[in-house]
Copies of this chain bind each other. A is one copy, B any other.
Amino acid sequence: MKKILIMAGDGIGPEIVAEAVKVLDVAKARFGLEIETDDALVGGAAYDVHGDPLPEVSLEKARAADAILFGSIGGPKWDQIERDKRPERGLLRLRSSLGLFANLRPAILFPQLADASSLKPEVVSGLDILIVRELTGGIYFGQPRGIREENGERVGFNTDVYSESEIRRIGKVAFELAMARGKRLCSVDKANVLEVTELWKEVITEMAKDYPEVDVSHLYVDNAAMQLVRTPKQFDVLVTGNLFGDILSDQAAMLTGSIGMLPSASLDVNRKGMYEPCHGSAPDIAGQGIANPLATILSLAMLLRYSLDRGDVADAIEKAVEQVLEDGLRTADIYTDGCRKVGTTEMGDAVAAAL
Protein backbone atom coordinates (compact mmCIF):
# COMPACT_ATOMS: atom_id res chain seq x y z
CA MET A 1 0.00 0.00 0.00
CA LYS A 2 1.54 3.33 -1.11
CA LYS A 3 0.59 6.66 0.36
CA ILE A 4 0.05 9.80 -1.69
CA LEU A 5 -0.46 13.03 0.19
CA ILE A 6 -2.66 15.60 -1.54
CA MET A 7 -1.75 19.21 -0.81
CA ALA A 8 -4.16 21.31 -2.84
CA GLY A 9 -3.09 24.71 -1.52
CA ASP A 10 -4.54 28.02 -2.66
CA GLY A 11 -6.11 29.71 -5.66
CA ILE A 12 -6.92 27.25 -8.42
CA GLY A 13 -5.05 24.53 -6.50
CA PRO A 14 -8.12 22.74 -5.08
CA GLU A 15 -9.94 22.73 -8.45
CA ILE A 16 -7.10 21.30 -10.49
CA VAL A 17 -6.02 18.80 -7.86
CA ALA A 18 -9.59 17.46 -7.69
CA GLU A 19 -9.35 16.51 -11.37
CA ALA A 20 -6.03 14.75 -10.85
CA VAL A 21 -7.54 12.78 -7.96
CA LYS A 22 -10.39 11.80 -10.25
CA VAL A 23 -7.87 10.46 -12.76
CA LEU A 24 -5.97 8.67 -9.98
CA ASP A 25 -9.16 6.90 -8.90
CA VAL A 26 -9.73 5.62 -12.42
CA ALA A 27 -6.08 4.55 -12.65
CA LYS A 28 -6.35 2.69 -9.34
CA ALA A 29 -9.35 0.76 -10.60
CA ARG A 30 -7.92 0.03 -14.04
CA PHE A 31 -4.44 -1.00 -12.89
CA GLY A 32 -5.37 -2.36 -9.46
CA LEU A 33 -3.04 0.10 -7.75
CA GLU A 34 -2.67 -0.19 -3.99
CA ILE A 35 -2.67 3.49 -3.15
CA GLU A 36 -4.25 5.38 -0.31
CA THR A 37 -4.51 9.14 -0.25
CA ASP A 38 -4.67 11.68 2.52
CA ASP A 39 -5.02 15.49 2.50
CA ALA A 40 -3.01 18.21 4.20
CA LEU A 41 -3.25 21.97 4.32
CA VAL A 42 -0.43 24.13 2.97
CA GLY A 43 0.12 27.76 2.01
CA GLY A 44 -2.50 30.41 2.67
CA ALA A 45 -5.13 27.73 3.32
CA ALA A 46 -2.98 26.39 6.17
CA TYR A 47 -2.19 29.86 7.46
CA ASP A 48 -5.89 30.65 7.68
CA VAL A 49 -6.49 27.63 9.90
CA HIS A 50 -3.23 27.18 11.80
CA GLY A 51 -1.50 30.56 11.46
CA ASP A 52 1.35 28.74 9.70
CA PRO A 53 1.76 28.00 5.96
CA LEU A 54 3.29 24.61 6.82
CA PRO A 55 1.86 23.39 10.13
CA GLU A 56 3.57 20.49 11.89
CA VAL A 57 0.65 18.16 11.13
CA SER A 58 1.07 18.78 7.38
CA LEU A 59 4.81 18.32 7.52
CA GLU A 60 4.41 15.05 9.44
CA LYS A 61 2.00 13.71 6.84
CA ALA A 62 4.38 14.81 4.09
CA ARG A 63 7.25 12.95 5.74
CA ALA A 64 5.14 9.82 6.06
CA ALA A 65 3.91 9.81 2.46
CA ASP A 66 5.60 8.05 -0.45
CA ALA A 67 4.83 10.98 -2.71
CA ILE A 68 3.02 14.29 -2.64
CA LEU A 69 0.69 15.79 -5.19
CA PHE A 70 0.80 19.54 -4.78
CA GLY A 71 -1.52 22.16 -6.27
CA SER A 72 -0.33 25.73 -5.93
CA ILE A 73 0.01 28.34 -3.23
CA GLY A 74 -0.22 32.08 -2.67
CA GLY A 75 -2.50 34.97 -3.51
CA PRO A 76 -3.09 38.64 -2.75
CA LYS A 77 -5.01 37.71 0.40
CA TRP A 78 -1.74 36.76 2.12
CA ASP A 79 0.61 39.33 0.57
CA GLN A 80 0.66 41.64 3.55
CA ILE A 81 1.18 39.18 6.35
CA GLU A 82 4.50 38.86 8.11
CA ARG A 83 7.23 37.46 5.90
CA ASP A 84 7.73 34.10 7.63
CA LYS A 85 4.06 33.25 7.49
CA ARG A 86 3.50 33.84 3.80
CA PRO A 87 2.35 30.92 1.67
CA GLU A 88 5.62 30.80 -0.31
CA ARG A 89 7.56 30.19 2.87
CA GLY A 90 5.50 27.09 3.51
CA LEU A 91 6.47 25.72 0.12
CA LEU A 92 10.14 26.58 0.64
CA ARG A 93 10.17 24.93 4.07
CA LEU A 94 8.48 21.85 2.66
CA ARG A 95 11.12 21.53 -0.08
CA SER A 96 13.89 22.04 2.42
CA SER A 97 12.50 19.83 5.23
CA LEU A 98 11.97 16.92 2.87
CA GLY A 99 15.32 17.41 1.13
CA LEU A 100 13.68 17.78 -2.29
CA PHE A 101 16.84 19.04 -3.93
CA ALA A 102 16.20 17.95 -7.52
CA ASN A 103 13.58 19.89 -9.39
CA LEU A 104 12.76 18.48 -12.82
CA ARG A 105 10.91 20.87 -15.11
CA PRO A 106 10.20 19.69 -18.61
CA ALA A 107 9.36 22.21 -21.30
CA ILE A 108 7.59 20.20 -23.96
CA LEU A 109 5.59 21.46 -26.88
CA PHE A 110 2.50 19.36 -27.40
CA PRO A 111 2.07 19.07 -31.18
CA GLN A 112 -1.66 19.72 -30.77
CA LEU A 113 -0.86 23.07 -29.16
CA ALA A 114 1.91 24.26 -31.47
CA ASP A 115 -0.06 27.41 -32.28
CA ALA A 116 -0.16 28.54 -28.67
CA SER A 117 3.50 29.53 -28.66
CA SER A 118 4.50 33.14 -29.25
CA LEU A 119 7.51 31.78 -31.14
CA LYS A 120 7.58 30.81 -34.78
CA PRO A 121 6.48 27.20 -35.32
CA GLU A 122 9.81 26.17 -36.85
CA VAL A 123 11.64 27.46 -33.77
CA VAL A 124 9.64 25.44 -31.25
CA SER A 125 8.04 22.47 -33.03
CA GLY A 126 9.12 19.29 -31.31
CA LEU A 127 10.63 21.20 -28.39
CA ASP A 128 11.59 18.87 -25.54
CA ILE A 129 13.86 20.39 -22.91
CA LEU A 130 14.36 19.22 -19.36
CA ILE A 131 15.51 21.77 -16.83
CA VAL A 132 17.14 20.34 -13.72
CA ARG A 133 17.07 22.97 -11.01
CA GLU A 134 18.77 22.68 -7.62
CA LEU A 135 15.96 23.33 -5.17
CA THR A 136 17.18 23.34 -1.57
CA GLY A 137 20.27 25.53 -1.72
CA GLY A 138 21.65 28.68 -3.26
CA ILE A 139 20.36 32.15 -2.53
CA TYR A 140 16.91 30.78 -1.63
CA PHE A 141 18.23 29.38 1.63
CA GLY A 142 21.64 31.03 2.15
CA GLN A 143 22.49 32.72 5.46
CA PRO A 144 22.94 35.52 6.48
CA ARG A 145 19.88 37.22 5.03
CA GLY A 146 17.54 40.01 6.02
CA ILE A 147 17.03 43.76 6.11
CA ARG A 148 19.15 45.76 8.59
CA GLU A 149 19.77 49.42 9.45
CA GLU A 150 23.13 50.77 8.38
CA ASN A 151 24.23 54.41 8.39
CA GLY A 152 20.68 55.50 8.94
CA GLU A 153 19.14 53.59 6.06
CA ARG A 154 17.79 50.12 5.38
CA VAL A 155 19.99 47.60 3.61
CA GLY A 156 18.66 44.32 2.22
CA PHE A 157 20.96 41.33 1.84
CA ASN A 158 20.97 37.66 0.85
CA THR A 159 23.67 35.06 0.49
CA ASP A 160 24.13 32.80 -2.48
CA VAL A 161 26.02 29.70 -1.41
CA TYR A 162 26.73 26.23 -2.78
CA SER A 163 29.04 23.54 -1.49
CA GLU A 164 30.85 21.09 -3.72
CA SER A 165 28.69 18.22 -2.45
CA GLU A 166 25.46 20.06 -3.18
CA ILE A 167 26.62 20.72 -6.72
CA ARG A 168 27.73 17.12 -7.14
CA ARG A 169 24.40 15.80 -5.89
CA ILE A 170 22.33 17.76 -8.41
CA GLY A 171 24.97 17.26 -11.11
CA LYS A 172 24.59 13.50 -10.76
CA VAL A 173 20.83 13.71 -11.29
CA ALA A 174 21.35 15.87 -14.36
CA PHE A 175 24.05 13.69 -15.89
CA GLU A 176 21.95 10.57 -15.34
CA LEU A 177 18.89 12.17 -16.89
CA ALA A 178 21.00 13.33 -19.83
CA MET A 179 22.25 9.76 -20.28
CA ALA A 180 18.65 8.55 -20.39
CA ARG A 181 17.68 11.22 -22.91
CA GLY A 182 19.64 12.94 -25.67
CA LYS A 183 23.04 12.78 -23.91
CA ARG A 184 23.52 16.54 -24.01
CA LEU A 185 23.87 18.58 -20.85
CA CYS A 186 24.23 22.33 -20.60
CA SER A 187 25.26 23.76 -17.24
CA VAL A 188 24.28 27.37 -16.63
CA ASP A 189 26.33 29.71 -14.43
CA LYS A 190 27.66 33.24 -14.19
CA ALA A 191 31.20 32.10 -13.53
CA ASN A 192 32.68 35.26 -15.03
CA VAL A 193 31.26 37.29 -12.15
CA LEU A 194 30.10 35.10 -9.26
CA GLU A 195 32.48 32.86 -7.33
CA VAL A 196 29.64 30.60 -6.20
CA THR A 197 28.96 29.72 -9.83
CA GLU A 198 32.65 29.52 -10.63
CA LEU A 199 32.73 26.59 -8.20
CA TRP A 200 29.56 25.26 -9.84
CA LYS A 201 31.24 25.26 -13.24
CA GLU A 202 34.40 23.63 -11.91
CA VAL A 203 32.53 20.80 -10.21
CA ILE A 204 30.36 20.08 -13.27
CA THR A 205 33.48 20.14 -15.43
CA GLU A 206 35.16 17.60 -13.12
CA MET A 207 32.08 15.38 -13.15
CA ALA A 208 31.93 15.42 -16.93
CA LYS A 209 34.94 13.05 -16.97
CA ASP A 210 32.76 10.33 -15.43
CA TYR A 211 30.18 10.67 -18.18
CA PRO A 212 32.25 10.56 -21.37
CA GLU A 213 29.16 9.86 -23.46
CA VAL A 214 27.48 13.11 -22.40
CA ASP A 215 28.20 16.15 -24.49
CA VAL A 216 28.64 18.87 -21.83
CA SER A 217 28.52 22.60 -22.44
CA HIS A 218 28.53 25.66 -20.17
CA LEU A 219 26.64 28.89 -20.73
CA TYR A 220 26.51 32.11 -18.78
CA VAL A 221 22.98 32.70 -17.58
CA ASP A 222 22.48 35.82 -19.72
CA ASN A 223 23.54 33.90 -22.78
CA ALA A 224 21.32 30.95 -21.81
CA ALA A 225 18.32 33.30 -21.60
CA MET A 226 19.19 34.50 -25.11
CA GLN A 227 19.72 31.05 -26.56
CA LEU A 228 16.41 29.85 -25.13
CA VAL A 229 14.72 32.59 -27.17
CA ARG A 230 16.84 32.19 -30.29
CA THR A 231 17.16 28.42 -30.76
CA PRO A 232 15.60 26.56 -27.86
CA LYS A 233 15.81 23.22 -29.63
CA GLN A 234 19.60 23.27 -29.26
CA PHE A 235 19.03 22.11 -25.66
CA ASP A 236 18.39 18.68 -24.22
CA VAL A 237 19.01 18.84 -20.44
CA LEU A 238 19.93 22.07 -18.64
CA VAL A 239 21.25 22.05 -15.08
CA THR A 240 21.56 25.09 -12.86
CA GLY A 241 21.16 26.55 -9.37
CA ASN A 242 17.99 27.49 -7.56
CA LEU A 243 17.57 31.10 -8.71
CA PHE A 244 18.70 30.73 -12.33
CA GLY A 245 16.58 27.58 -12.48
CA ASP A 246 13.54 29.50 -11.29
CA ILE A 247 13.95 32.07 -14.05
CA LEU A 248 15.04 29.84 -16.92
CA SER A 249 12.49 27.09 -16.27
CA ASP A 250 9.64 29.58 -16.38
CA GLN A 251 11.07 31.19 -19.49
CA ALA A 252 11.45 27.77 -21.13
CA ALA A 253 7.94 26.75 -20.07
CA MET A 254 6.51 29.87 -21.67
CA LEU A 255 8.26 29.09 -24.96
CA THR A 256 5.65 26.39 -25.38
CA GLY A 257 2.86 28.91 -24.94
CA SER A 258 1.00 26.48 -22.73
CA ILE A 259 2.35 26.60 -19.22
CA GLY A 260 -1.01 25.21 -18.14
CA MET A 261 0.25 21.89 -19.52
CA LEU A 262 3.58 21.53 -17.75
CA PRO A 263 4.19 19.30 -14.75
CA SER A 264 7.21 19.24 -12.46
CA ALA A 265 8.83 16.92 -9.97
CA SER A 266 10.91 17.70 -6.89
CA LEU A 267 12.84 14.66 -5.71
CA ASP A 268 14.92 13.68 -2.70
CA VAL A 269 17.89 11.29 -2.73
CA ASN A 270 15.57 8.29 -2.58
CA ARG A 271 13.34 9.53 -5.38
CA LYS A 272 10.58 10.33 -2.98
CA GLY A 273 9.01 13.35 -4.49
CA MET A 274 6.58 16.17 -4.62
CA TYR A 275 4.79 16.80 -7.90
CA GLU A 276 3.20 20.04 -8.94
CA PRO A 277 2.14 22.00 -12.00
CA CYS A 278 4.65 24.62 -13.22
CA HIS A 279 2.04 27.33 -13.22
CA GLY A 280 1.05 29.25 -10.10
CA SER A 281 -2.14 29.65 -8.10
CA ALA A 282 -3.75 32.10 -10.58
CA PRO A 283 -5.92 33.84 -7.98
CA ASP A 284 -7.56 35.91 -10.73
CA ILE A 285 -9.38 32.88 -12.11
CA ALA A 286 -9.72 30.81 -8.93
CA GLY A 287 -13.18 29.42 -8.23
CA GLN A 288 -14.44 30.01 -11.76
CA GLY A 289 -14.03 26.43 -12.93
CA ILE A 290 -11.98 27.45 -15.97
CA ALA A 291 -8.43 26.52 -14.87
CA ASN A 292 -6.51 23.93 -16.87
CA PRO A 293 -6.06 20.75 -14.80
CA LEU A 294 -3.76 19.03 -17.31
CA ALA A 295 -0.45 20.14 -15.75
CA THR A 296 -1.61 18.62 -12.46
CA ILE A 297 -2.80 15.45 -14.14
CA LEU A 298 0.57 15.18 -15.89
CA SER A 299 2.24 15.81 -12.53
CA LEU A 300 0.36 12.78 -11.24
CA ALA A 301 1.76 10.81 -14.17
CA MET A 302 5.29 11.92 -13.21
CA LEU A 303 4.54 10.88 -9.62
CA LEU A 304 3.58 7.40 -10.69
CA ARG A 305 6.65 7.11 -12.92
CA TYR A 306 9.35 8.47 -10.62
CA SER A 307 8.16 7.78 -7.07
CA LEU A 308 5.94 4.72 -7.46
CA ASP A 309 7.83 3.07 -10.32
CA ARG A 310 4.72 2.72 -12.40
CA GLY A 311 5.87 4.04 -15.75
CA ASP A 312 3.14 1.96 -17.37
CA VAL A 313 0.39 3.84 -15.56
CA ALA A 314 2.13 7.15 -16.24
CA ASP A 315 2.24 6.30 -19.95
CA ALA A 316 -1.46 5.51 -19.94
CA ILE A 317 -2.33 8.83 -18.28
CA GLU A 318 -0.13 10.77 -20.69
CA LYS A 319 -1.80 8.96 -23.59
CA ALA A 320 -5.22 9.85 -22.21
CA VAL A 321 -4.23 13.52 -22.05
CA GLU A 322 -3.00 13.39 -25.63
CA GLN A 323 -6.23 11.74 -26.68
CA VAL A 324 -8.28 14.51 -25.15
CA LEU A 325 -6.16 17.13 -26.92
CA GLU A 326 -6.55 15.21 -30.18
CA ASP A 327 -10.29 15.29 -29.63
CA GLY A 328 -10.07 19.08 -29.65
CA LEU A 329 -10.90 19.77 -26.00
CA ARG A 330 -9.28 22.94 -24.67
CA THR A 331 -9.49 24.99 -21.50
CA ALA A 332 -9.51 28.76 -21.99
CA ASP A 333 -5.73 29.18 -21.61
CA ILE A 334 -4.96 26.93 -24.58
CA TYR A 335 -8.09 27.57 -26.63
CA THR A 336 -7.83 28.31 -30.34
CA ASP A 337 -10.50 28.63 -32.99
CA GLY A 338 -12.05 25.39 -34.10
CA CYS A 339 -11.55 23.62 -30.78
CA ARG A 340 -14.11 22.93 -28.08
CA LYS A 341 -13.76 25.14 -25.01
CA VAL A 342 -14.29 23.22 -21.77
CA GLY A 343 -14.03 23.95 -18.07
CA THR A 344 -11.85 22.35 -15.42
CA THR A 345 -14.25 19.54 -14.51
CA GLU A 346 -15.14 18.67 -18.06
CA MET A 347 -11.46 18.41 -18.93
CA GLY A 348 -10.81 16.16 -15.93
CA ASP A 349 -13.81 14.01 -16.81
CA ALA A 350 -12.58 13.67 -20.38
CA VAL A 351 -9.13 12.47 -19.30
CA ALA A 352 -10.68 10.06 -16.79
CA ALA A 353 -12.95 8.72 -19.52
CA ALA A 354 -10.09 8.39 -22.01
CA LEU A 355 -8.18 6.42 -19.39
Q: Does A192 contact B (CB under 8 A)?
A: yes
CB neighbors of B among A243-294 (8 A): 243-244, 246-251, 253-255, 257, 259
Q: Contact: A230 with B83, CB < 8 Å?
A: no
Q: Contact: B194 with A139, CB < 8 Å?
A: yes
| Distance in angstroms between the alpha carbons of A194 and B92 in the assembled complex | 12
Residue interface bits A174-213, CB-to-B below 8 A is 1, else 0: 0000000000000000101111111110000000000000
Say which residue of B145, B147, B199 sits within 8 Å of A156 (CB atoms): B199
| Distance in angstroms between the alpha carbons of A300 and B195 in the assembled complex | 33
Q: Does A118 contact B (CB under 8 A)?
A: yes
Q: Contact: B247 with A222, CB < 8 Å?
A: yes
Q: Contact: A230 with B243, CB < 8 Å?
A: no
Residue interface bits A154-186, CB-to-B below 8 A is 1, else 0: 111111111111000000000000000000000
Count of chain A residues near B, Cβ 8 A: 61
| Distance in angstroms between the alpha carbons of A33 and B210 in the assembled complex | 62
Cβ contacts under 8 Å, A26 to chain B? none
Contacts A142-B157, A160-B139, A160-B158: A225 and B250 contacting too (C-beta < 8 A)?
yes
Task: Name A's interface SS.
Answer: helix
**So how many copies of this chain end up in the complex?**
2
CB neighbors of B among A82-130 (8 A): 83, 86, 88, 92, 118-120, 123
Cβ contacts under 8 Å, A150 to chain B? 163
Q: Does A153 contact B (CB under 8 A)?
A: yes
Report A138 CB to chain B, min CB distance, Å: 10
Q: Contact: B162 with A155, CB < 8 Å?
A: yes
Q: Does A226 contact B (CB under 8 A)?
A: yes
Q: Contact: A157 with B159, CB < 8 Å?
A: yes
- A interface residues (Cβ-Cβ under 8 A, vs B): 74, 83, 86, 88, 92, 118-120, 123, 139-140, 142, 145-147, 150, 153-165, 190, 192-200, 221-223, 225-226, 228-231, 243-244, 246-251, 253-255, 257, 259
